[in-house]
């Protein structure tokens, strides 16, 4: 595998890779694991909110920087890279990456385990994934409502299922922290945090319409759909943008 090219966005390292390249890396990670090589590869999808959080949380920054693949899940991250003079290839939306990875899983007969969100939602997502991708093997699913005391049994259940791909929808940064701590013990070849993607796959949430995506206003659509996120979004995004500008124009 060629050396990684990464871009520093306020101390968070993001891979210079497009969607096809990111999916291909996941494929190679899985194939390596299936061939008896290294397993427990972590894929993360930093957006401006995660990067802003990582600026104030050294542990989170270290987690992202030590991941095996980090893609720019947000136009703001791409714009920041351009302002900072080291442009990324482009945005790699986490949802788009998940869809592409499922396509590869279908073609390659991968074993997939889904973890997170509400019980009825993950069950419906599992049903749809299995129906849409009959070539992959859906080896299990579990909602996100488990306690720390449940974790040992959950890890053993995942390990017994022998997944090639563990998809975690626990919300960020909880899912990244959980995967960092527990992914090696699960035996999965690759773990990826996907936020609300399973809710979209299950039809319980909607992705921003194409016009919002083209105008780079998906954050505004999410805010209109989920006003409870206003404080988090409207707090993190301006702070992120200001930090980028300060980094760009400081003497």
Res 78 pLDDT > 70 = yes
Mean predicted confidence (pLDDT) in 200-214: 73
pLDDT of 211 reads 62
Closest CA to 141 of 63, 202, 206, 70: 202
Residue 145: CA atoms inside 13 Å, Cβ hemisphere, count? 6
Res 144 pLDDT > 90 = yes
Cα 155 to Cα 184: distance, rounded to the nearest angstrom: 10
Widest distance between CA atoms in the chain? 56
- Taking the domains of the chain in order of start, what are their residue ranges? 6-197, 210-249
What is the length of the chain? 251
Q: Cα dihedral sign for 230, 231, 233, 235?
A: positive
Of 15-19, 99-103, 182-186, 216-220, the one with minimum mean pLDDT is 216-220
pLDDT band at 209 (very low <50, low <70, confident <90, very high): low
Q: How far does Cα 229 stand from its chain's mean position?
A: 19
Of 59-68, 99-108, 211-220, 231-240, the one with minimum mean pLDDT is 211-220
Residue identified by tokens 């069950």 is: 123
Please identify, in words, the CATH class of the domain defined by 6-197: alpha beta
Cα 80 to Cα 27: distance, rounded to the nearest angstrom: 28
Res 141 pLDDT > 60 = yes
- Find out whether the peptide bond into 24 is cis, omega within 30 degrees of 0: no
Contact indicator for 39, 52 with CB cutoff of 8 Å? no
C-alpha distances out from residue 34 to 31, 37, 109, 141, Å: 5, 7, 11, 21
pLDDT of 1 reads 52
Cα 204 to Cα 112: distance, rounded to the nearest angstrom: 21
pLDDT of 152 reads 98
DSSP H or E run through 66 = helix 58-66
How do beta strands 12-15 and 6-9 pair?
antiparallel
Mean predicted confidence (pLDDT) in 148-158: 98
pLDDT of 74 reads 87
Mean predicted confidence (pLDDT) in 6-13: 98
Res 40 pLDDT > 60 = yes
pLDDT band at 235 (very low <50, low <70, confident <90, very high): confident
Q: Name the percent of the chain lying above pLDDT 90.
A: 83
- The residues, any chain, with a CB within 8 Å of residue 125's CB and separated by 6 or more, are 114, 117, 141, 198, 199, 201, 202
- The residues, any chain, with a CB within 8 Å of residue 86's CB and separated by 6 or more, are 7, 8
Res 185 pLDDT > 60 = yes
Res 102 pLDDT > 60 = yes
Burial 156-169 (b: 16+ CB within 10 A, else e): eebeebebbbbbbb
Cα 154 to Cα 148: distance, rounded to the nearest angstrom: 10
């Amino acid at each position: 595998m060629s050396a990684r090219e990464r871009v520093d966005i306020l101390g968070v390292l993001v891979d210079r890779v497009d969607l096809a390249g990111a999916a291909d890396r996941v494929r190679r990670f899985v194939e390596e694991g299936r061939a008896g090589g290294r397993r427990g590869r972590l894929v993360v999808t930093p957006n401006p909110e995660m990067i802003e959080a990582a600026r104030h949380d050294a542990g989170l920054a270290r987690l992202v920087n030590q991941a095996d693949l980090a893609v720019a899940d947000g136009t703001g991250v791409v714009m920041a890279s351009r302002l900072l003079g080291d442009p990324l290839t482009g945005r790699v939306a986490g949802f788009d990456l998940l869809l592409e990875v499922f396509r590869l899983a279908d073609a390659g007969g991968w074993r997939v385990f889904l973890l997170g969100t509400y019980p009825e939602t993950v069950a419906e997502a599992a049903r749809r994934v299995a129906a849409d991708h009959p070539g992959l093997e859906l080896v299990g699913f579990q909602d996100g409502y488990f306690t720390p005391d449940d974790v040992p049994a959950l890890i053993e259940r995942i390990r017994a299922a022998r997944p090639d791909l563990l998809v975690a929808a626990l919300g960020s940064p909880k899912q990244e922290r959980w995967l960092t701590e527990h992914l090696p013990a699960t035996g999965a070849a690759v773990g990826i945090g996907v936020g609300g993607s399973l809710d979209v796959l299950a039809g319980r949430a909607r992705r921003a319409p194409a016009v919002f995506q083209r105008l780079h206003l998906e954050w505004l659509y999410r805010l209109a759909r989920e006003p409870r996120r206003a404080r988090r979004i409207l707090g993190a995004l301006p702070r992120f943008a200001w930090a980028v500008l300060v980094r760009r124009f400081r003497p």
